[in-house]
Chain A
Amino acid sequence: MTVPIAYYLVLSAILFAIGAGAFLIKRNIITVFMAIELMLNAVNLAFVAFAHQWHKVQGQIFVFFVMVVAAAEAAVGLAIIIAIFRARSTLNVDQVNLMKL
Chain B
Amino acid sequence: MTPNSSLHLWLIPVLPFVGFLLNGLLGRHLPKGAVTTIALLFTAAPLAMVTGIAVRFGGLSLPYIEHLSMPWIETSAFRADFSFMLDQLTLVMLLVVTGVGFLIHIYSIGYMAHEDGYWRYFSYLNLFMFFMLTLVLAENFLLMFVGWEGVGLASYLLIGFYYTRDSAADAGKKAFILNRIGDVGFLLAMFLMIAHFGSLSYGSVFGSIAQHPEMQGGFLTAIALLLLLGATGKSAQIPLYVWLPDAMEGPTPVSALIHAATMVTAGVYMVVRSHVLFDRSPFALGVVAIIGAATALFAATMGMVQTDIKRVLAYSTISQLGYMFLACGATAYAAGIFHLVTHAFFKGLLFLAAGSVIHAMGGEQDMRVMGGLRKTIPVTFWTMSAAVFAISGLPPFAGFFSKDAILYQAFLSPTAGPILWFIGLFTALLTAFYMFRLWYLTFFGESRSRDVHPHDSPWVMLGPMAILAVLSLIGGWIGIPKALGGGDQFAHFLEPVVGTPAGSASGGNSQELLFSALSVVMALIGWFIADLMYRQKPGMADKLAARLSAVYTLLFNKYWIDQIYQGVIVAPLLFLSRYLLWGAVDRGVITGGGSLAAGGVRGLGALVQRVQSGNIRSYAGWLAVGAAALILITYFGFSMHV
Contact = CB atoms under 8 A, between A and B. Distances in A.
Contact of B620 (A24, A94, A100): A24
Contacts of B624: 20, 24
Contacts of A24: 617, 620-621, 624
Contacts of A78: none
Interface string B205-228: 000000000000000000000000
Interface residues of A, number: 9
Interface in A77-98: 93-94, 97
B608 interface: no
Interface string A12-50: 000000001001110000000000000000000000000
B616 A93 contact: yes
Given A20-B624, A24-B624, A93 B617 contact: yes
A76 interface: no
B485 interface: no
Question: At the interface, is chain B mostly helix, strand, loop or mixed?
Answer: helix
A6 interface: no
Contact of B617 (A23, A100, A101): A23
Contact of A101 (B614, B615, B616, B621): B614
A23 B614 contact: no
> Which of the four size classes fits the interface of chain B?
under 10
A97 B624 CA distance: 22
A11 to B, nearest CB: 17
A84 to B, nearest CB: 14
Interface in B583-642: 614-617, 620-621, 624
Nearest to A23: B620
A24 B621 CA distance: 6
A20 B615 CA distance: 16
Nearest to B618: A24
Contacts of B616: 93
Given A20-B620, A24-B624, 13 more contacts: A20-B624, A23-B617, A23-B620, A24-B617, A24-B620, A24-B621, A25-B617, A93-B616, A93-B617, A94-B615, A97-B614, A100-B614, A101-B614
15 contacts: A20-B620, A20-B624, A23-B617, A23-B620, A24-B617, A24-B620, A24-B621, A24-B624, A25-B617, A93-B616, A93-B617, A94-B615, A97-B614, A100-B614, A101-B614
Q: What are the 4 tightest A-B residue pairs by CB atom distance, in nearest-first order? A: A24-B621, A20-B624, A100-B614, A24-B617
